[in-house]
């Protein structure tokens, strides 16, 4: 896991053809807006969260965020233990995000 500032995170994603953006917040938080292109996998779902991680390609680069950066750091550590090669945590999380935001349709 690597902690990245907003600028580093956005810059790396824009140059990474192997990037997957993973949002580990709750569905209610997701409904308040999310980073475009992100996939929701709520870390509070426990074993359901692990099952969904098992379905992902471990060779991709995962850019993980939550509301403030704590849950996403935890998610990155879990993913690292599961054999994911590259995980990046967004420092400060979505509440400090200044980039583009999408909303559920």
Which active-site residues does the annotation give? 66
Tokens of 7: 């600028």
What percent of the chain is helix, strand and coil (3-state, nearest 5)?
Answer: 40, 20, 40
* The two three-digit tokens of residue 60, written as one number: 């991709």
Give the integer Cα–Cα distance in Å for 21 and 40. 9
Collapse the DSSP code of 94 into the 3-class scheme (helix H, G, I; strand E, B; otherwise coil) and give the result.
helix
Bridge partners of 4? 90
CA 80 to chain centre: 13
């Amino acid at each position: 896991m690597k902690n990245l500032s907003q600028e580093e995170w956005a810059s790396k994603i824009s140059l990474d053809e192997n990037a997957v953006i993973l949002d580990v917040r709750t569905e209610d938080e997701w409904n308040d807006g999310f980073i475009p292109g992100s996939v929701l996998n709520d870390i509070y779902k426990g074993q359901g969260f692990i099952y969904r991680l098992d379905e992902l390609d471990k060779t991709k680069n995962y850019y993980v965020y939550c509301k403030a950066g704590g849950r996403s750091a935890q998610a990155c550590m879990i993913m690292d233990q599961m054999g994911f090669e590259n995980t990046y945590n967004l420092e400060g999380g979505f509440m400090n995000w200044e980039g583009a935001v999408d909303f559920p349709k």
